[in-house]
């Protein structure tokens, strides 16, 4: 005998493209309880589990607010209609909702106008699952009435939204349930938007094909579309007005170049409601964030991905297999400590992926700062050894790969043309310790990494990239060491050195000609709206972005992509985000952006080979 004891869904709010996986607890014939599936092929005493998904069919769908996706839409922006913007971006739940979001909403109108001038058609989103906007427009009847416009004190024109005809109906007795899927999991589609879903689980008697007991059911709220973040463009840094858009799919067509992305994707271990209470629980859930992160990462189509805070189990069961489908091969290094989650031990780490049609792996180096700490402590007197290990053992790591270019990207060097090895590239990916009080530990970790890279540079004259989350703001000692090759002996960060591991300050140096990629935005001399927009998002005192991490309690730059300027040049950069657009959700993560960091991406060109 087999019976269903309990059915649980991870969330009541289903989202298009995000898999729903039901937890089904079963009681077997021996009275034992188990969540393991029992299929018809592996039946227990002739009984098996049957799970079916249904959609509540109504005559009309429910349209949802673009700002508050859990609320039904009642108003639509007329200017969005005139600009032919995606319908999902034009809907609002109340007049107050529309008024409060107008400051950001009008930017969308301006960007749409700029795109039309450049001959670029507005798209629904670079991150949607091949959705057909026409399917979500069916419930509009066109009877929208008139609209009024009002002038704001800042000169912008506020266009009052029009009230929509009543499309949002409650569940009625005449509605019917339509089967849409089978099994414990179901992924909502655009056809489900505005509809309620239901899973029905029942034990089936294999001899009769009939239910052995009443079915257990669970219903969801109405399916909402995945939030659509404003597309980030890859902008050239050497066009006529200082910058301009590259291809709209995010992949450069320029011959002889390659793209590199660095992104702290926020491990699920740390994505807690206590830490990010301002983010809706459904948007913080891994089942949602993983799909949103994947959509974003894949949309950029970078040749090399440097990801931080990749959880060890998620690398194996999500990132590696999913990115493999998109042509990437990956290597991974997890931190040296683990956390028990209640079922398994996991930890985050660094993952580097590369497009296998453009690169092949030559060599991999794993840097464990704990091992370096052990070696350092051996040179100390016994009384200081314990204190040193306590302070320096922080489990942080770095992952270094040497890649060889395949003859598909147009940047093979002259040696390759003569039949020798293709262009080599060294990429370091790291996540430095986060505690802001341990300034000496941060600097020591960065210095240790750079010394390792110097050894590689001495053995092979190849371009280098150093990317990651350095947990160090511009102007800090680690940032100075990376960007200038040294640390001023009078730098205030050097005052924190209880173990005397930073002395003498003269040893805090390196010979790699590293430059921050995003400093190219600050150095541009062009004119035009795109240039000015990016300049406003830069800190001109440090030549770095104003922020790469934006939470309720912190705003600042922690992430960088450094490159060796004697062998590489920057061609394009992924545009930076505006703080005001993120503050409408308090901070990151949010329904639109699923990490507390933003992605950085740069396009590079190899310079002619000159030995340093």
Active site residues: 469
Which of 185, 215, 217 lies closest to 198, judged by CA?
A: 217
Handedness of CA 572, 366, 506, 559 (dihedral sign): positive
- 48 forms bridges with which residues in the sheet? 204
How many whole angstroms separate alpha carbon 131 and alpha carbon 544? 37
E strand map for 500-595? 514-516, 538-539, 544-545, 549-550, 555-556, 559-564, 568-574
Return the half-sphere exposure (C-beta side, CA atoms, 13 A cut-off) of residue 61: 19
Is 480 within 8 Å of 441 (Cβ atoms)? no
Buried b (16+ CB within 10 A) or exposed e, 274-300: eebeebbebbbbbebbbbbbbbbbbbb
DSSP 575: P
Is 351 within 8 Å of 366 (Cβ atoms)? no
Q: What is the greatest pairwise CA distance in the chain? A: 84
Which of 410, 309, 303 lies closest to 354, judged by CA?
A: 303
SS3 181: strand
Q: How far is CA 575 from CA 122, 354, 522, 558, in A?
A: 18, 22, 12, 17
Q: What are phi and psi of 176, to 5 degrees?
A: -125, 155
Is 331 within 8 Å of 310 (Cβ atoms)? no
User: Which residues does 144 contact at the CB level (< 8 Å), separation at least 6?
Assistant: 76, 78, 81, 162, 163, 164, 165
Is 575 within 8 Å of 536 (Cβ atoms)? no
Helix 439-459 / helix 369-378 crossing angle, nearest 10 deg = 100
Which of 205, 248, 190, 234 lies closest to 17, judged by CA?
A: 190
Tokens of 435: 């505690």
Q: What are phi and psi of 174, to 5 degrees?
A: -80, -5
């Amino acid at each position: 005998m087999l019976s269903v004891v309990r059915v649980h869904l991870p969330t009541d709010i289903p989202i298009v493209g995000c898999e729903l996986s039901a937890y089904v607890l079963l009681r077997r014939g021996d009275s034992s309880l188990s969540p393991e599936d029992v299929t018809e092929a592996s039946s227990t005493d002739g009984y098996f589990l049957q799970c079916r998904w249904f959609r509540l069919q109504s005559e009309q769908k429910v349209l949802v607010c673009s700002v508050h996706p859990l609320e039904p839409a009642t108003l639509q922006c007329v200017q969005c209609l005139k600009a032919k913007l995606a319908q999902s971006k034009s809907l609002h739940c109340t007049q107050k909702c529309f008024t409060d979001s107008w400051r950001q909403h009008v930017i969308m109108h301006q960007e749409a106008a700029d795109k039309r001038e450049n001959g670029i058609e507005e798209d629904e989103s670079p991150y949607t699952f091949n959705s057909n906007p026409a399917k979500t427009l069916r419930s509009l009847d066109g009877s929208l009435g008139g609209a009024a416009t009002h002038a704001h004190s800042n000169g912008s024109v506020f266009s009052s939204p029009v009230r929509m005809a009543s499309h949002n109906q409650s569940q009625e007795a005449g509605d019917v349930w339509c089967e849409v899927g089978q099994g414990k999991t179901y992924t909502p589609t655009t056809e489900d938007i505005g509809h309620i879903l239901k899973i029905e689980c029942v034990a089936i008697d294999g001899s009769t094909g009939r239910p052995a007991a009443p079915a257990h059911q669970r219903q969801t709220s109405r399916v909402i579309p995945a939030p659509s973040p404003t597309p980030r463009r890859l902008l050239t840094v050497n066009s006529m007005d200082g910058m301009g858009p590259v291809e709209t799919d995010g992949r450069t067509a320029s011959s002889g170049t390659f793209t590199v992305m660095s992104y702290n994707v926020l491990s699920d271990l740390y994505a807690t409601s206590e830490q990010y209470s301002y983010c809706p629980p459904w948007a913080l859930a891994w089942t949602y964030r993983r799909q949103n992160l994947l959509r974003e990462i894949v949309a950029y189509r970078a040749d090399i991905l440097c990801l931080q805070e990749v959880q060890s189990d998620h690398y194996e069961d999500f990132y590696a297999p999913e990115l493999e489908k998109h042509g990437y091969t990956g290597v991974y290094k997890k931190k040296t400590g683990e956390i028990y989650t209640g079922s398994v031990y996991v930890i985050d780490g660094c993952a580097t992926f590369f497009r296998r049609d453009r690169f092949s792996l030559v060599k991999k180096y794993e840097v464990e700062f704990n091992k370096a700490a052990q070696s350092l402590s051996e040179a100390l007197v016994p009384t200081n050894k314990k204190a040193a290990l306590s302070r320096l053992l922080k489990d942080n790591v770095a992952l270094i790969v040497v890649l060889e270019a395949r003859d598909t990207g147009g940047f093979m060097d002259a040696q390759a043309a003569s039949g020798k090895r293709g262009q080599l590239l060294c990429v370091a990916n790291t996540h430095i310790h986060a505690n802001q009080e341990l300034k000496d530990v941060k600097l020591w970790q960065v210095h240790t990494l750079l010394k390792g890279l110097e050894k590689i540079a001495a053995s092979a004259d190849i371009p280098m990239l150093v990317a990651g989350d350095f947990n160090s703001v511009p102007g800090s000692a680690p940032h100075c060491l990376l960007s200038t090759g040294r640390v001023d002996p009078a730098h205030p960060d050097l005052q924190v050195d209880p173990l005397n591991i930073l002395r003498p300050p003269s040893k805090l140096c390196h010979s790699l000609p590293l430059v921050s990629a995003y400093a190219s935005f600050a150095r541009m001399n062009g004119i035009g709206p795109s240039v000015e927009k990016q300049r406003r998002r830069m800190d001109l005192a440090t030549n770095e972005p104003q922020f790469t991490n934006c939470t309720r309690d912190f705003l600042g730059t922690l992430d960088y992509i450094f490159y060796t300027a004697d062998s590489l040049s920057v061609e394009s950069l992924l545009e930076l985000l505006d703080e005001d657009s993120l503050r409408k959700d308090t901070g990151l993560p949010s329904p639109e952006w699923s990490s507390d960091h933003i992605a950085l991406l740069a396009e590079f060109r190899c310079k002619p080979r000159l030995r340093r």
